[in-house]
Structure formats: C-alpha cells, structure tokens
Structure 1
Amino acid sequence: MSALPHTVSTEPFDPERTMAEGSFYSEKYMQASQRQLIWWRFRRHRIALVALAFLVPAYLSVLFTEIIAPYGLETRNTAHIFMPPQAIHLFHEGSFVGPFVYDMNGRLDLDTLQRHYTPGNEPRPLRFFCRGDSYNFWGLVPGDFHLVCPPEGSTLFPLGTDRLGHDMLSRLIYGARISLTVGLVGVAMSFALGLFFGGIAGYFGGKVDYWVQRATETLRSIPELPLWLALSASLPVTWSPILVYFGITLILALLDWPGLARAVRSKLLSLREEDFTAAAVVMGATPGRIITRHLLPNFMSHLIASASLSIPSMILAETALSFLGLGLRPPITSWGVLLSEAQNIEAVALYPWLLMPMLPVMLTVLAFSFLGDGLRDAVDPHSSN
C-alpha cells in the first residue's frame, strides 16, 4: 500500500480559523501556551473585548481623578444651584470655534421656587491642559493642573449641578475612585477567604470539610440584605472615611466568599486523587505547597473568570448600602452616595440629571458581566461555541 502524500499548508496560521474548524493538528496551535490559547479564544468574544476596552480606561482614570475632573470635589458655585446640563458646542453662527459653552443666566421662580436658566449669546471657549482648582493628588501632592477647565469667568457643567452647586461630572469622576475600587478590594478579600477555606476543605476532607461546609451553608442561609444593613449600621459614626470604606469592603467580602469556597472545594476533591498530587505527597511536599503550587494553578483561570463576575455584585451592594444611607457617607463620594441625594420625587420630576450616577453603575456592571462571560468561555479553548 502506497503512503498518502504529505502536504504542508503554506497559509499563515490563523488561530481563530483553526479553532472554528475544530482542527487541533496545527503545529503552532499544539505548541501554544495556555495563555495564548485563552487569548485566542477571548479575542473571538467581541462584546467581551468591548467591555474590556471600557473597563481599562475607567480604571486608569481612577489613578488621575484629580487631573481629569474639571472642578475640585468640594468646589461650589452657589449662583448655579440645580443647573441643568450645560451643552458643549463647536460652531457659533455657522463658524467653527472649537469646544465652547454659553453663559447660563439663572433666575428663581418665586411661585414654584424652581430655578430657570437661559443661555447667553457669547461663546466661551474651554481651556485644556490648564490651571484650575487646587487639590492634593491622592491626598499627598498639592497641584492645580487639569485636563480641561471652565472658560475664564464662566462655567462648565456638562452634567449639571446639585443642590449645593457641585459639578455632577466632577463628583461622578471622584465617585468612580471609590465605587470601582471597592469591588476590586472586596473581591480580593473574598478571593483569599474562599481559596483558604475551600482549599483546606477540599484537600483534607473529613471533619475539616464537614465544619467548613456547615459554616458556608449557615452564611448562605442568612438573608443578605438584612445582614448587610445590620453590619453596616453597626459601624461607629465616629470612624474616619477611610475606616468606613474598609469596613464596608470587609462586610461585602465576608458575605461573598462561601460561593467561591464551595467551587474550590469541589475542584480540589477531584484533583487530590490525581497522580501528580500523590507524587508530590511521596516527595514530601507540605499540604500548603501542594495546594498553592499544584492544585490551585490547575483551575486558576476558572477562578479568575468567577472573580470577574463577582465584582459587579460588590459594586451593586456598595451602591445599595450607600443609597440607603447605611454604607459610605459624606465626605466620601461614591456613586451610591450621589444617588442618595435623588431619593425624593422632586429630584426625579424637576432635576432628573441627579439620577445620572445610575448610568456608570449600569455600564460598569454590564461590562463586567460581558467580560466574565468572555473569560469563562476563553478558559476552555477546546470547547465549541
């Protein structure tokens, strides 16, 4: 019997096409590392890429909040209280001027006690890379440099102002630093607790597994919202804003770890029976080394995907607690704190722009959900769509 002719493809390697066709015989595909396989799979999840493109700049902006915000956190403009969003224009009477605003002239209606604003006729160009309100960068370095500043002698309120004349855009940017990081810090704490308790339960089994499971079942049986409210209300009102921040984060982490611990336990129960685990035991490896160096890395990609899906719940929990007045409180500014100022029907009916903090919360939660879906599909590069 004559051998079949061996043909070598001259086409460039396309991992997406290789995976889509179900072919696992490409040399580059077979030699690819796990990170490459996950990245190739993740690239095919377009909506997850869009979510990642949204979240990366959002978290990078947290590092430069003071520079990006046009106003300082405590800056007030008492002449423009409850001012609606101020439009930014490019053309004035058919001529291109560049980004500019019109002055807003306000008056108080004594019959309804509602403020009305009318735009002027003179364009006021915005200033970029300019000197503005002073601040302490991350509370340490004084400065006054801003990416964009209001025109000289005018205002810049693209999202309007609140009842004290604070710029809503600046407060949203400052609030992102708290609301976005509370999810990361909370998940990091929850991640550590879940890995520890789930790891010892899955590896040792027996009585250790029994008591860890009873503890997780007890925590999961308690209604979360009343427990959140009780623990948050127990925080001393004399605590500094930083202590309150870490207190709320710790509360969220303590209530979120049981789900992750159960996932870790079930996986370790199966992995501890594998040959490589038995070989590590024979070689004298300690239980801690076996768990951290041999067992957990085998499904760490799945844990990362689970963590990305847990961050939105942390953000929503902080927003809900702060909205109810039992979470973060002024002078800390978060999206939940900003929403707490829009609890009455007057804000909804007369000043709807006070509900603007809902938008970044919704976008962030959706972005993390889509990113988590993409990561969850990417960690199994050989599965079909």
Structure 2
Amino acid sequence: MAESSAAWSPEDNPPATAALATASQWRLMWWQFKKHRLAHACLYIAAALYLVALLADFIAPKDPGATSTRHTYAPPQSVSLFMRDDDGLRFLPHVTDYRVTIEPQAVRRVFVADESKPIPIGLFVRTAPYEFLGVVTLSHRLIGPLEAGKPFYLLGADRLGRDMLSRVIHGARVSLSIGLVGVAVSLVLGVVFGGVSGYYGGAVDDVIQRVIEFLKALPTIPLWMGLAAAIPATWSPLTVYFAVTVLISLIGWTSLAREVRGRFLSLKTEDFVASARLDGAPEMRVILRHMAPSFASHIIATLTLAIPSMILAETALSFLGIGLRAPVISWGVLLQEAQNVRAVASAPWLLLPGVAVVITVLAMNFLGDGLRDAADPYGG
C-alpha cells in the first residue's frame, strides 16, 4: 500500500519516530492524552465547572441567600424563545409567571404556569449591586428577568423560596475548591513523607509505612465523625471550611505517599541522582528538585483521580451533618434538604445538587484515567 504524501501534523496523527525520540515528556503526554477522546472532552467539562465556580457571583441569577415566602418549593420554569401575540410569532426569550392554586385533598399550594403572564429574560441584566469575588462591586448578572422582582427559578426553589440554580452554582465554588485545597495538602504530605520514606529507607521507611498502614486501616466515616465533633461550634464558617479540608486530607495523602515511595525506590540508584549527590546538592534538593519532577506526570494523574474522592468526602460529611453547615453553601449542604422524603416527593428538584456531584465526579474520573494513561507515553 502506498504511503500518503500528506505532511504529518502532530496535532492530528501519532508523532513520527524522529519526533517521538526528541519530544519532551510533557509533549509526549499531551499526544497520548489526545488519543483518549473521552478524557479530552472531560478536560473541557472540568475547566468549565471551575470557571463557573470562579464566576459564581456573576453567573448566578440571584443572591443564593435571598428568600421569598411566596415561592416556597416553586417548580422549575421552562425557557421559551418565541412568543405569539397579535403581531404574530416573534423572538422573545421568556419564562412564565406562576399561578397558585390550592389542592383540596392535600390542602397545599400548587404552582401552575400562567401562560398569560410572560416574564421576558435577557443577558447581562441590571440587578441590585453585589460584591464580585469580594473585591469589585457589580450591578449586572449574566442572565435574569428584565423586570426586577419577577420570579425567576430555572431549577426551582427550596423550602425558603431560595433559587436552587444560584445555590448550586455557589455550592460549586465550595465543593470544587475543597477538592483542590485538599489535593494540595495531600500533595505536600504525600511527596514529602513518600519521598523521605523511599529515599532513606531503613528505619525511617518502616516508621512512615506503619503510620500509613495505621491510617488506611481506620474506618473513615467514624474517624471523620470523631474529628468533626471536635470542631468547636463557635468557629466561623471559613475556619470550619479549612478544618474540614484538613480532615479530608489526613486520609487522602497516604495513597500518594505509597506511589511516591515506589518511584523513589526505583530512582535513587539512577545516574542523575548519584550525580546530584556527588555535586554536593542537599538531600531535600535532590528529593524535591531532581527526583520528584522526573515523575511529575504520574503525580498529576494521581492527584486528578484524588479530586473526586475529596469532593465525595465533603458531600458525604455535609450530607450527614458533620461537615460544613449553613450558612456555608456546598453541594453536600444543599443535599441535606433532600433528607426529607416528603419534601423530595413534592419537590424532586432538591436532588439536583446530587446531579452536579455525579457529573463532576464522572468528568474528573475520566480525566484522571486519561492522564494516568498519558503519564506513560510509551505504553500506548
């Protein structure tokens, strides 16, 4: 079969032998990662989730703490792009207002869409001033009703009439950041203890490995419950946030430490390590400057797979009431509303934070799988 005469492009095809031999480790990792199409797509999904979390103040239609007694458990409103009137069909993005009726048997309010009362919506609408990232005062939001004060609940409302969409978006900021902060703490603990264990060996290795085995043998939920019970009730929400992050990280670093230890055991006899020692480099410099970067891609892949575990741990702790608590908004705190079966039966949209958790965890897991495969560029 004749070979194609088209010029080779590393963006579209596997690299040629010469390019493969001269490419950097990160370039090889990127080529291999792009072969994993699902992981490649999940990279953009994860980036979009963190962008939404960062811009939550602007993207959320309302203040997540704003209540409305008239709209408790209001159902989600559907968005229509066109409206028919006397002039015919015209483009007008809108939602419909609610009409409240009383159900005689259950003696409860029922919200019905009132097609005769459309509520026009738009982008970059003017709202009450708010603090963006606590730094800049803005008076516009990404989306909302053009007329202030009109009901706008794309994902429904909770028992206090608070907008679920705004609360899910703001909850992403806490839940996703706990994953990053927790992984950062695990990175430091895992690389330091794992590196010291694998580099020195002997008694130091035995002590660190026994500590890791002890921590891994502890049942996590009872351990977290005991540690969370020790958090003073007088602490501020921000202090509790960091305390919960540290509690989650106390368990998360052990797997990374084992990974780093195994790599150090195989690397400490390599020529470049011996050269660094003979050159008089301090031992911590040899560990952190020469040995750890040589398998940085594997560390990144391991940490990416650890982020969903951190998010699930925070969600579980907050759902059980031993993690974050109101007024902090996280996906786990929001799911506490779903503990009431009667409330869920009448307002199933209270489970939407759980959907956000599932999407995030799946995206991060697929992304981590792709990075783990790409960390060994010559293996595929």
Could you tell me which amino acid in structure 2 is paired with residue 85 of structure 1? P
**After alignment, is 216-225 or 135-144 more displaced?**
135-144
Match of 2:376 among 370, 376, 380: 380
Aligned length: 374
SS at match of 2:106: coil
In structure 2, the residue matched to 1:104 is: 98
Q: Distance in 2 between matches of 1:344 and 1:123?
A: 33
Could you tell me which amino acid in structure 2 is paired with residue 101 of structure 1? V
1:156 and 2:152 correspond? yes
Q: What pairs up with 1:60-139 in 2 under 5 angstroms?
A: 60-93=51-84, 95-109=89-103, 111-120=105-114, 121-139=116-134
In structure 2, the residue matched to 1:54 is: 45
Match of 1:146 among 138, 141, 148: 141
Kindly provide the CA deviation profile for residues 118-141 of structure 1, in whole angstroms up to 9, marking residues without a partner as x: 222132210321211332222343
Q: Distance in 1 between matches of 2:13 and 2:121?
A: 51
1:333 and 2:324 correspond? no
Could you tell me which amino acid in structure 2 is paired with residue 331 of structure 1? P
Deviation at 1:355, TM superposition (A): 0.7
Q: Distance in 1 between matches of 2:12 and 2:350?
A: 48
In structure 2, the residue matched to 1:31 is: 22
1:211 and 2:202 correspond? no
In structure 1, the residue matched to 2:346 is: 350
Match of 1:241 among 237, 242, 256: 237
SS at match of 1:134: strand
Q: Distance in 1 between matches of 2:210 and 2:297?
A: 27
Q: Distance in 2 between matches of 1:135 and 1:149?
A: 15
Kindly provide the CA deviation profile for residues 44-79 of structure 1, in whole angstroms up to 9, marking residues without a partner as x: 111011111111111112221111111012111221
SS at match of 1:305: helix
SS at match of 2:117: strand
Contact 2:316 2:332 in 1 (8 A): yes
| Unaligned ranges ≥5, structure 2 | none
Could you tell me which amino acid in structure 1 is paired with residue 90 of structure 2? F
1:181 and 2:174 correspond? no
In structure 2, the residue matched to 1:3 is: none
**Length-normalised TM-score, structure 2:** 0.94
Contact 1:71 1:133 in 2 (8 A): no
In structure 2, the residue matched to 1:230 is: 226
Q: Distance in 2 between matches of 1:321 and 1:62?
A: 21
Deviation at 1:117, TM superposition (A): 1.1
Contact 1:15 1:29 in 2 (8 A): no
Could you tell me which amino acid in structure 1 is paired with residue 298 of structure 2? H
Contact 2:125 2:145 in 1 (8 A): no
Contact 1:130 1:147 in 2 (8 A): yes
1:258 and 2:260 correspond? no
Could you tell me which amino acid in structure 2 is paired with residue 175 of structure 1? G
Q: Distance in 2 between matches of 1:257 and 1:200?
A: 14
In structure 2, the residue matched to 1:195 is: 191
Q: Distance in 2 between matches of 1:326 and 1:84?
A: 30
SS at match of 1:357: helix
TM-aligned CA distance change 1:158 to 1:273, over 3 Å: same
**Length-normalised TM-score, structure 1:** 0.93
SS at match of 2:111: strand
Q: Distance in 2 between matches of 1:307 and 1:114?
A: 49
SS at match of 1:126: strand
**After alignment, is 114-123 or 368-377 more displaced?**
114-123
In structure 1, the residue matched to 2:36 is: 45
Q: Distance in 2 between matches of 1:175 and 1:159?
A: 14
In structure 2, the residue matched to 1:295 is: 291
**After alignment, is 335-344 or 107-116 more displaced?**
107-116
Q: Distance in 2 between matches of 1:324 and 1:54?
A: 28
Contact 1:16 1:41 in 2 (8 A): no
Deviation at 1:275, TM superposition (A): 1.6
Identity among equivalent positions (%) equals 48
RMSD across aligned positions (CA): 1.9
1:270 and 2:270 correspond? no
Q: Distance in 2 between matches of 1:32 and 1:11?
A: 21
Q: Distance in 2 between matches of 1:141 and 1:209?
A: 50
| Unaligned ranges ≥5, structure 1 | 1-7
Deviation at 1:10, TM superposition (A): 5.2
Q: Distance in 1 between matches of 2:329 and 2:105?
A: 34
Kindly provide the CA deviation profile for residues 169-225 of structure 1, in whole angstroms up to 9, marking residues without a partner as x: 000011010011000000000110000100111111111111101110110110111
Deviation at 1:167, TM superposition (A): 0.4
SS at match of 2:280: coil
Deviation at 1:9, TM superposition (A): 8.3
